[in-house]
């Protein structure tokens, strides 16, 4: 399992604040500098501050009144879906939590575990049901009614199958996030719930090893 770490231990809660545009991307020796539009809601953004872009925790390296920049390491390009973004694409954003913030999703670190691929999208009542293919690496951490972050969105899992899971998105989520452009084949950033990883690790190191 690959892990992408932010420059500091920032925390998010998977409640996307909105979307903004990728204005440009400049590749240099397998790394990248990305330029994003700075919305008026980001007036408190600072150089050195953290922001989650499609669920990936990035550090702001340069800032103007209407845009900001972030350096993307080669490893980040390799193991997240950021490298697939094109100029003009919309991205989800969320600023890091403050200590007195209400946690309305689940705790998210912006450390991507895997790139998932959307296999299928279909309507069920007012919801969009999304089927996402995954590898066996993260499957042990997924359970029905558990949480997962998809492109930074805290979502409840509906079902888990052999190398896939499904989630449902309400109209508000679809309208106000990058989910509005999802289609079969779209690559998405996935971060599993840390609690599931801790529990699985405990079982592997203690319960299952002793049973064997």
Co-location of 70 and 144 in the same domain: no
Residue 83's Cβ-count burial label (10 Å; 0-12, 13-18, 19+) is: middle
Q: What is the C-alpha separation between 69 and 58, in angstroms, rounded?
A: 10
The arithmetic mean of pLDDT across residues 3-30, rounded, is 81
Buried b (16+ CB within 10 A) or exposed e, 87-125: eeebbbbbbbbeeeeeeebbbbbbbbbbbbebeebeeee
- The pLDDT value recorded for residue 5 is 44
- The pLDDT value recorded for residue 103 is 66
Strands 164-169 and 127-133: antiparallel
- The pLDDT value recorded for residue 109 is 85
Percent of the chain with pLDDT over 70: 88
107 domain-assigned: no
Among 95, 123, 148, identify where a domain stops. 95
The arithmetic mean of pLDDT across residues 171-177, rounded, is 97
CB 12 within 8 Å of CB 110: yes
Percent of the chain with pLDDT over 90: 75
Number of domains in the chain: 2
pLDDT per residue as tens digits for the range 108-152: 888 999 999 999 999 999 999 999 999 999 999 999 999 999 999
4 domain-assigned: no
102 domain-assigned: no
- The pLDDT value recorded for residue 67 is 97
Q: What is the mean pLDDT of the chain?
A: 90
pLDDT per residue as tens digits for the range 41-86: 999 999 999 999 999 999 999 999 999 999 999 999 999 999 999 9
CB 83 within 8 Å of CB 32: yes
- Token pair 């066996």 is found at 136
**Beta partners for 169?**
128
Q: What domain range is 35 assigned to?
A: 18-95
8 domain-assigned: no
Question: Residue 32's CB: how many other CB atoms inside 10 A?
Answer: 19
- The pLDDT value recorded for residue 24 is 98
* In the chain, beta strands by DSSP E: 18-28, 31-37, 50-53, 56-63, 67-72, 90-95, 114-124, 127-133, 147-150, 153-161, 164-169, 187-192
- The pLDDT value recorded for residue 3 is 41
- The pLDDT value recorded for residue 143 is 94
- The pLDDT value recorded for residue 156 is 96
With 60 as the cut, is the pLDDT of residue 178 above it?
A: yes
With 90 as the cut, is the pLDDT of residue 20 above it?
A: yes
Give the CA distances from residue 51 to residues 20, 91, 118, 120, in Å, rounded to whole numbers and listed in that order.
Answer: 12, 12, 25, 29
- The pLDDT value recorded for residue 107 is 75
- The pLDDT value recorded for residue 97 is 72
Co-location of 122 and 81 in the same domain: no
100 domain-assigned: no
pLDDT category at 99 given cuts 50, 70, 90 is: low
Among 51, 67, 95, identify where a domain stops. 95
- The pLDDT value recorded for residue 62 is 97
105 domain-assigned: no
Co-location of 89 and 152 in the same domain: no
- The pLDDT value recorded for residue 115 is 98
């Amino acid at each position: 399992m690959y892990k992408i770490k932010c420059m500091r231990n920032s925390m998010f809660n998977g409640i996307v604040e909105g979307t903004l545009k990728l204005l440009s991307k400049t590749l240099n020796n397998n790394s990248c500098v990305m330029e994003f539009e700075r919305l008026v809601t980001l007036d408190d953004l600072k150089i050195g501050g953290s922001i989650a872009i499609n669920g990936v925790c990035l550090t702001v390296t340069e800032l103007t009144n209407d845009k900001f920049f972030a350096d993307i390491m080669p490893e980040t390009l390799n193991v997240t879906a950021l490298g697939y973004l094109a100029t003009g694409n919309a991205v989800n954003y969320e600023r890091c939590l403050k200590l007195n913030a209400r946690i309305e999703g689940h705790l998210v670190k912006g450390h991507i575990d895997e790139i998932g691929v959307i296999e299928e999208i279909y309507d069920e009542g007012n919801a969009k049901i999304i089927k996402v293919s995954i590898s066996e690496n993260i499957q042990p951490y997924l359970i029905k009614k558990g949480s997962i972050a998809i492109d930074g969105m805290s979502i409840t899992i509906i079902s888990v199958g052999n190398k896939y899971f499904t989630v449902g998105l309400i109209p508000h989520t679809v309208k106000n996030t990058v989910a509005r452009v999802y289609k079969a084949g779209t690559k998405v950033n996935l971060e599993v719930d840390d609690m599931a990883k801790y529990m699985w690790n405990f079982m592997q190191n203690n319960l299952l090893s002793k049973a064997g």
